[in-house]
Amino acid sequence: MPTASMSGDALLAQLRSFVGDQHVHTDPRANRRWRKGYRYGEGKVLAVVRPGTLLEQWRAFKACIEAGRIVIMQGANTGLNGGSTPFGDDYDREVVLINTMRINRIDLLKGGEQVLALAGSTLHALEKLIRPLGREPHSVIGSTTIGASVVGGVCNNSGGALIRRGPAFTQQALYASVGADGTVSLVNHLGIELGNDPEEILSRLDTGRYSEADVWHDTGKLASDPDYSTLIRQVDAPSPARFNNDPRLLHEAAGSAGKLCVFAVRLDTFPSSGPSRVFYIGSNDFMELTTIRRHILSSFKTLPVAGEYLHRDAYDIAEKYGKDLYLLIKHAGTERIPTAFALKSRFDAITGRLGLGTNLSDKILQVINGLLPGHLPKRMNDFRDRFEHHLLLRVDGGGTEEARAYLGSIFPSASGDFFEADDEEALAAFRNRYAIGGGSVRYRAVHADKVENIVALDLALPRNTIDWRETLPDGIEQYIERRIPCGHFMCQVFHYDYAVKKGTDWLDIEHKIIAHLNGRGIEFPSEHNVGHLYTAKPVLADFYRSLDPTNAMNPGIGQTSKLKDWA
């Protein structure tokens, strides 16, 4: 049973005995990289604990709960809404953050048709493991490039750029929960026979001591979202295709947002799409892109692989401020991204301790960016100059000829045009699209003198939306320094980043924009989860309470109570 009487020193001694002295970080300067969010959020912690096995994770988690502390579970800390770190210092109990990234094994099941991913395994490692088998994970590039964890994606019902696959989802997971009486229980819904005692179950999984005979394949439980490719084709439906508040996809670990301690998930993989072509579309008329989307989704026999939107302003941000990320992906591959982020974080921590600020690395990298030659293909830059709206359409199989014939029949028009990208242009187009997020963060860091913060809106429009362009409430434009719109166009999932001018209450601006957009069937957020920036709607808040009745785990998520027992 929980007892808050255990001193902090006694708990720390216990945690060190479980995971080793070197993996319990109590110095606020040394542990800043884990307790400060990628974009938002920071707060005090008693310690950052980094277990190296599932058994260590269980023991550390159980000890913290029994000592009456708050636990925040964390994967790669790549969340965009501050949901995997403390958020302020107004908690009513001490916080222990448990980072799982040392526990990173992935096992193949059914010859690679499924995988078992442990707590800290990454999307990139998963992609690399199954690529030789002709398989792909739920998401490629996107979150993969910044080292996001597989379990983190499931816990946040994270979306992705792939049109044929829905949000990360499974009903097969191994997790610990905290009951209403404060006791900790282990639940094994993996469909793998591992025994009954928690320490036996976790020890067997740690060492891989299970066989194919222990794996049940007719569990009746899902390991991916089976309906998305049908839902997205319903272009006249008045609701979004995907969003974090969708009760259809809230199940135990899926959508739990840190309200459970998840040890492993079982997921489907997907056949690789094979050779593909990219059609680069530009237009100055938003209706032209609306017509293209509705025609393709309702008429093409073969769904596209991806359809990514970026505004000219977002193109410019990515070109200038995401240049080093683009070049790193091009020349070193996505596998180097997590290492680069970790090195940058360490450098920022050192410069912060020396009184040089925590943005020095961004300023140095941006100077280097300015010295490097142009990196984007000429035809793309020409389209940037000519067109406000850009759509990157990736197709394969029979969809290639469908797209070629259809686009050739409508372009060139008075407002737009397209070209069929060669291999290098195709790679460049998608690298530039995915450099937008990093470019937005860099823009804020480099222009800290005139930018207060980035308001990052993550929203899903109804599938029957005709005019998808972002609008601002009256009087807000004067507070915006820069607009950075992009999104997953076929899904009608958009990311609207607004650089808010220095001295402005950026959170108030965000709330006013959300209030302005409410009532149109729009769901916030669409795929990055609520974090601490969005209010969890009743369905989601009730789900959190059902998982964590004492509010011991990640309290305050979705702007809910941070207090014990949801006071």
The mean pLDDT of 137-142, rounded to a whole number, is: 71
Give mean pLDDT, residues 307-327: 96
CA neighbor of 255 nearest in space, from 358, 159, 320, 346? 159
Kindly state the average pLDDT of the residues 461-478: 95
Confidence band of 528 (pLDDT split at 50, 70, 90): confident
Q: Which two tokens stand for residue 496?
A: 């609207």
Contacts of 110 (CB under 8 A, 6+ apart): 215, 217
Quick one: pLDDT band at residue 79, thresholds 50, 70, 90? confident
**The predicted structure's pLDDT at residue 336:** 76
Residue 145 confidence (pLDDT): 52
Task: Report pLDDT for 39.
Answer: 78
How many other C-beta atoms are found inside a 10 Å radius of the C-beta of residue 216? 13
Alpha-carbon distance of 241 to 487, in angstroms, equals 14
Beta bridge partners of 24: 49
41-50, 197-206, 339-348: which has the minimum mean pLDDT? 339-348
Can you state the angle between helices 398-410 and 286-299, rounded to 10 degrees?
140
Average pLDDT of span 489-501: 95
Burial of 324 (0-12, 13-18, 19+ CB in 10 A): buried
CB 145 within 8 A of CB 334: yes
The per-residue pLDDT for 2 is 54
Q: What H or E segment, with its residue span, contains residue 540?
A: helix 538-547
Amino acid sitting at position 324: D
Other C-beta atoms lying within 10 Å of the C-beta of residue 349 = 17
Tens digit of pLDDT for each residue in 93-134?
999 999 999 999 999 999 999 999 999 999 889 998 999 999
Calculate the CA 543 to chain-centre distance. Answer: 20
9-64 confidence digits (pLDDT tens):
999 999 999 999 999 999 998 898 899 987 788 999 999 999 999 999 999 999 99
Distance CA 523, CA 246 (A): 9
Q: Would you state the structure tokens that stand for residue 159, as one six-digit string?
A: 């979306």
Average pLDDT over residues 387-395: 97
User: Is 116 exposed, middle or buried, given 0-12, 13-18 or 19+ CB atoms closer than 10 A?
Assistant: buried
Q: What is the DSSP letter of 421?
A: -
In this prediction, residue 3 has a pLDDT band, given cuts at 50, 70 and 90, of low
Contact 523, 41 (CB under 8 A): no
- Which parts of 107-227 fold into alpha helices (H)? 123-130, 150-155, 198-207
Q: What is the mean pLDDT of residues 171-190?
A: 98
- Return mean pLDDT, the chain: 93
Contacts 24+ apart (CB under 8 A), 129-137: 130/269, 131/272, 133/108, 133/269, 134/271, 134/272, 135/269, 135/270, 135/271, 135/272, 136/269, 136/270, 136/271, 136/272, 136/273, 137/267, 137/269, 137/270
pLDDT in tens, 227-272: 999 999 999 999 999 998 899 999 999 999 999 999 999 999 999 8
Specify the pLDDT at position 4: 57
pLDDT higher at 56 or 520: 56
Write out the two tokens for 26: 């109590």
Given a contact cutoff of 8 angstroms between Cβ atoms, the answer to whether 195 and 201 are in contact is yes
The pLDDT of residue 143 is above 70: no
Residue 435: CA count within 13 A, CB half-sphere = 26
Helix (H) or strand (E) holding 76: none
Question: According to the model, what pLDDT value does residue 194 have?
Answer: 97
pLDDT in tens, 332-342: 876 777 778 77
The single-letter code of the amino acid at 409 is: S
Model confidence band, residue 435 (pLDDT cutoffs 50, 70, 90)? very high
> Of 415, 401, 403, 224, whose CA–CA distance to 297 is shortest?
403
Asked whether 95 and 218 are in contact (CB, 8 A), the reply is: no
Secondary structure of residue 494 in the 3-state scheme? strand
pLDDT band at 433 (very low <50, low <70, confident <90, very high): very high
From the number of C-beta atoms within 10 Å of its C-beta (0-12, 13-18, 19+), residue 208 rates as exposed
Give the pLDDT score at 1: 54
The length of the chain in residues reads: 567
Q: Give the separation between CA 115 and CA 426, rounded to whole angstroms.
A: 30
pLDDT at 485 over 80: yes
Look-up: residue for tokens 């191994």? 174
What's the average model confidence in pLDDT over 364-388? 96
Please say whether the beta carbons of 55 and 206 come within 8 A: yes
Q: What is the CA radius of gyration of the chain?
A: 23
**Selection from 166, 128, 171, 173 nearest residue 147 by Cα:** 128
Q: Identify whether 275 is preceded by a cis peptide bond (ω within 30 of 0).
A: no
> Which secondary-structure segment (H or E) carries 325?
helix 323-332
CA distance 531 to 554: 10
Give me the amino acid identity at 209. R
